[in-house]
Amino acid sequence: DTGVSQDPRHKITKRGQNVTFRCDPISEHNRLYWYRQTLGQGPEFLTYFQNEAQLEKSRLLSDRFSAERPKGSFSTLEIQRTEQGDSAMYLCASSLGDPQPQHFGDGTRLSIL
Amino acid sequence: AQSVTQLDSHVSVSEGTPVLLRCNYSSSYSPSLFWYVQHPNKGLQLLLKYTSAATLVKGINGFEAEFKKSETSFHLTKPSAHMSDAAEYFCVVSATNDYKLSFGAGTTVTVRA
């Protein structure tokens, strides 16, 4: 079990730039989730994939955000025209499905200058 | 809808003494309940989960939690704290067959030598 892997661990960018994060789930897991965690808060659900299908998006996911999981394996989360409020830790998790628990990666910390 | 309230934002204990982290939940359906731990700049690690089996749940690293439906509580305990237990702890709820996790605001645990 190699665990959930996220890349990069830390991204610093200027306001207005586009950024893309990658998540590699545990290999046999068909479900993949993205969460956002701001300082001092618990993670908040952003979106969810079952295999390659994106089944739900939170209201937190504005039009500037897009997520893909093209072959049902790794996933990418892109933020266009970044804003100060996008600064957060972006966490990816995967699971085999209910009632199996979600396993989290170490996250990508985004800092907007 | 599901939600959790962690009653203490910060708990400080001496090494070797018991730890109690309090959590109340609200759920429209039979809930699944979890405790996750997060060390600085790391992802979340599952400590234990409750999914309608035994009400006393044993987890990793000596932690356990008791589900009390009448009190809508799911408190986390450990009989003897270790320095390595210093971290952020999250109580988490999801409805049965719902993939979305709802996190509490977290409890920061510090352990004094």
**Cβ count near B66 (within 10 Å):** 15
**Composition of chain A by helix, strand, coil, percent to 5:** 5, 50, 50
pLDDT of residue B96: 66
A25 DSSP 8-state letter:
-
Residue B64: beta bridge partners? B58, B77
Report how far residue B49's alpha carbon sits from residue A91's, in angstroms, rounded to the nearest whole number.
Answer: 20
Range name among A71-85, A97-111, B9-23 with the lowest pLDDT average: A97-111
Phi, psi of A69 (to 5 degrees): -145, 75
pLDDT over threshold 70, residue A46: yes
User: Is pLDDT of A100 > 80?
Assistant: no
Using alpha carbons, list the distances in angstroms from residue A44 to A37, B83, B98. Answer: 6, 29, 15
pLDDT at residue number A1:
55
Inter-chain touch B101–A102, beta carbons under 8 Å? yes
Q: Is the pLDDT of residue A102 over 80?
A: yes
Residue A41 touches chain B, beta carbons under 8 Å: yes
Q: Does B95 touch chain A (CB under 8 A)?
A: no
* A99 — pLDDT class (breaks 50, 70, 90): low
Q: Is B97 on the interface with A (CB under 8 A)?
A: yes
Region A12-29: mean pLDDT is 96
Cβ contact, residue pair B103, A106, below 8 Å: no
* Mean pLDDT computed over B17-28: 93
Nearest by CB to B100, which of A4, A41, A45? Answer: A45
- Indicate whether A78 pLDDT > 70: yes
Q: What is the pLDDT of residue B97?
A: 66
The number of C-alpha atoms within 13 Å of B61 and in the hemisphere containing its C-beta is 16
Is residue A71 within 8 A of residue A49, CB to CB? The reply is no
Q: Is the peptide bond before A101 cis (omega within 30 degrees of 0)?
A: no
Whether the CB of A25 is below 8 Å from some CB of chain B: the reply is no
**What's the pLDDT tens digit per position in B43-100?**
899 999 998 778 899 999 999 999 999 999 999 999 999 999 999 999 999 876 677 8
Of residues A7 and B1, more confidence is placed in A7
Structure-model confidence comparison of residues B29 and B38, the more confident one = B38
Q: How confident is the model at residue B103 (pLDDT cuts 50, 70, 90)?
A: very high
Q: Smallest Cβ distance to B104: which of A42, A48, A105?
A: A42
Return mean pLDDT, chain A: 93
